[in-house]
Amino acid sequence: MSFSAGFSTTASLIADPARAMMLTALIDGRARPAGELAYAAGITPQTASSHLAKLLVGGLVAVEREGRHHYYRLAGSHVAQALEQLATIQPAQPVKRKALTPQARELRFCRCCYDHLAGQVGVAIATALVAHGYLVEAADKQFEVTASGAEWFGSIGLDLRTVKATRRGLARQCLDWTERQHHVAGPLGVQFLAVLCDNGWARRSKTSRAAEITPKGWIALRQHLGLDRLSIRDAGGDELSARPPRTPEFA
């Protein structure tokens, strides 16, 4: 299959509103049953099954079978990255938006982008890590961990010797679609979120992509990185002025 043909086929799969909503529901990396995805997309289970079959053939999702039940997840982080990049495309002219719902504000502030931390909190942490000299921006949209960074990560319980780099490196600069700035992705981003949760500094929602920094976590972030809730919200502003209309919240 030629590149152009493969690209158009994938684009047509994502372009369908129902399939886009189902892909959006899977962006946090968790596997979900067809019935839940049907509900998220506002379609019948039968229609959802047809859409999921197409997404499977197209390589956008994978399925896990547990007895009679089928659970679907994104085929990999590369799919999440592609969705995220698509979500950054916006009209050239500003468009007036409705005020954000409380849920949308919650997702913008702190959420999971597939398997790492995103939103205003994720961007603020990435910025602070660079400002403290723990990470350095490198070529090919990567972050390099400095010697002081390795020591700092170790101090919070993340031993970099246990984190295996992929062919794309240890840490990747992931463009946050709401903030238009980078947060930390890649193996380091995955393990960093896991450590935050293990330390009781963060919690992932069981029903959505939202994540929450706990009171204990805010104390730790203030001590380690000089971050607090109010400064992050103030820096991010109240409106998603760059948000494309009718675009699913991919990542």
What is residue 107's predicted lDDT score, i.e. its pLDDT?
87
At residue 70, the pLDDT reads: 85
CA distance 19 to 55: 8
- What integer pLDDT is reported at residue 163 of this predicted model? 96
Residues 143, 172: contact at Cβ < 8 Å? Answer: yes
Q: Which amino acid is at 111?
A: R
pTM exceeding 0.85: no
Domains in the chain: boundaries: 3-75, 102-236
Those residues whose C-beta lies under 8 Å from the C-beta of residue 67, and which sit 6 or more positions away, are: none
Q: How far is CA 63 from CA 60, 72, 124, in A?
A: 10, 4, 34
Residue pLDDT, tens place only, 145-193: 999 999 999 999 999 999 999 988 999 998 887 887 899 999 999 999 9
Q: Residues 61-70: contacts with CB within 8 Å, 24+ apart? A: 61/23, 61/26, 64/31, 69/33, 70/33, 70/34
Give the span between the Cα atoms of 84 and 72, in whole angstroms: 19
**Would you state the pLDDT for residue 1?**
46
For every residue of 138-150, which 3-state class applies, written as one string?
ECCCEEEECHHHH
Q: Each residue's pLDDT tens digit in the chain (251 positions)? A: 455 556 788 889 999 999 999 998 888 777 888 888 998 889 998 999 999 999 999 999 999 887 677 889 899 888 887 887 787 776 655 545 556 677 788 889 999 988 899 999 999 999 999 999 999 999 988 999 999 999 999 999 999 999 999 988 999 998 887 887 899 999 999 999 999 999 999 999 988 889 999 999 999 999 999 999 988 986 665 443 333 333 333 44
Separation of alpha carbons 24 and 82, rounded Å: 12
* Per-residue confidence (pLDDT) for residue 248, from 0 to 100: 39
Q: Domain 3-75 falls in which CATH fold?
A: Arc Repressor Mutant, subunit A (1.10.10)
